[in-house]
């Protein structure tokens, strides 16, 4: 389904208004050149704290800092002219209090120019979400599997397999929705539950490992592009195999350097003849 070209940047309100109209296209972005490419196709670009694992080789997202999010948020904003850009609040930057969350959300928005922030959490974060939204900060929620809570939730496992888990996720979705989030990620959640939540909340739902019935979908761009061959989560589809392309390109480069066939005359600068 194609989207007509438009000059105006999508706002969080625009994203929310797409619920029930057409699927919302989202991807993570971390750099200017990639954001420029994705901007032509995506409604929303998320500068996710997944950058800690994808770009910095961290084991989890817990070690990501505000400074890292700001630097990459600024980079993505330089490349995105059309898509709504949301930046993750990293672990420890918002859980202490709603006031702490507001200070750091404002800092992210001021220093990057982004359109809003994302935070993880359900019912326990509803008061914070309402506090931010009432003060002019658009909030993108995140329920189900929450990577920032990996150390207390038993690892990266799908959610909603028991009645207790399902009830909790329902309560989380309702709380974040009523608090005013314009959208929420539903991650790693059993399909029927994600489908049900999508029909019961006003906020737009963005699925990742959830349901095709969600109002939109998001993937980590490096996963979608096939930049990692070691591990592929069940919910990821490789739309390209760039790891193989890059490996072949580097191999060819190395061979030509060793053989002294690169650089050739066309790649070097010669002394200009005197006039």
* Residue 223 assigned ligand-binding role: no
Q: Is the pLDDT of residue 6 over 90?
A: no
Region 77-89: mean pLDDT is: 98
Residue labelled with tokens 């990501």: 64
Q: What confidence tens digit (pLDDT) does each residue in 215-235 have?
A: 999 999 999 999 987 767 778
Q: What is the pTM of this model?
A: 0.93
Average pLDDT over all residues of the chain: 94
Q: Catalytic amino acids?
A: 187
Provide φ and ψ at 239, rounded to 5°.
-85, -5
E strands, 62-144, are 84-88, 116-118, 139-144
Q: How far is CA 123 from the centre of its chain?
A: 22
Alpha-carbon gap, residue 263 to 12, rounded angstroms = 49
* Residue 50 assigned ligand-binding role: yes
Q: What confidence tens digit (pLDDT) does each residue in 117-131 have?
A: 999 999 999 999 999
Region 99-119: mean pLDDT is: 98
- Could you give the percent of the chain with pLDDT greater than 90? 88
Please choose, from the candidates 118, 60, 69, 123, the residue with its C-alpha nearest in 3D space to the C-alpha of residue 94: 118
Dihedral sign for Cα atoms in the order 150, 151, 157, 161 = negative
Q: Is the peptide bond before 263 cis (omega within 30 degrees of 0)?
A: yes
Q: Is the pLDDT of residue 263 over 70?
A: yes
What's the pLDDT band for 186 if we cut at 50, 70, 90? very high
* Residue 248 assigned ligand-binding role: no
Predicted pLDDT at 128: 98
Predicted pLDDT at 5: 52
Region 179-206: mean pLDDT is: 98
Structural domains of the chain ordered from first start: 12-241 (3.20.20.60)
Predicted pLDDT at 2: 53
User: Which tokens belong to 9?
Assistant: 């940047």
* Residue 19 assigned ligand-binding role: no
* Residue 115 assigned ligand-binding role: no
Predicted pLDDT at 233: 76
Please choose, from the candidates 227, 208, 215, the residue with its C-alpha nearest in 3D space to the C-alpha of residue 43: 215
């Amino acid at each position: 389904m194609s989207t007509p070209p438009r000059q105006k940047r999508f706002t969080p309100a625009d994203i929310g208004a797409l619920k029930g109209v057409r699927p919302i296209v989202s991807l993570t972005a971390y750099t200017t050149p990639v954001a420029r490419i994705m901007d032509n196709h995506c409604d929303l670009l998320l500068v996710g704290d997944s950058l800690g694992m994808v770009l910095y080789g961290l084991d989890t997202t817990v070690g990501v800092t505000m400074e890292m999010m700001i630097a990459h948020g600024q980079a993505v904003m330089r490349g995105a002219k059309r898509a709504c850009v949301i930046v993750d609040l990293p672990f420890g930057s918002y859980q202490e209090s709603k006031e702490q969350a507001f200070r750091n959300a404002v800092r992210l928005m001021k220093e990057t120019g982004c359109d809003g922030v994302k935070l993880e959490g359900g019912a326990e974060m509803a008061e914070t979400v309402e506090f931010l939204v009432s003060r002019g900060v658009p909030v993108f929620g995140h329920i189900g599997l929450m990577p920032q809570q990996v150390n207390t939730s038993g690892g990266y496992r799908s959610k909603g397999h028991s009645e207790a888990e399902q009830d909790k996720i329902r309560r989380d979705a309702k709380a974040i929705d009523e608090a005013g989030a314009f959208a929420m990620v539903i991650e790693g959640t059993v399909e029927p539950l994600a489908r049900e939540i999508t029909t019961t909340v006003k906020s737009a739902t963005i699925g990742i490992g959830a349901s095709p019935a969600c109002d939109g979908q998001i993937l980590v761009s490096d996963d979608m592009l096939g930049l990692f061959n070691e591990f592929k989560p069940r919910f990821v589809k490789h739309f390209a195999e760039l790891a193989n392309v890059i490996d072949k390109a580097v191999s060819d480069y190395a061979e030509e350097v060793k053989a002294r066939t690169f650089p050739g005359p066309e790649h070097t600068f010669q002394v200009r003849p005197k006039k």
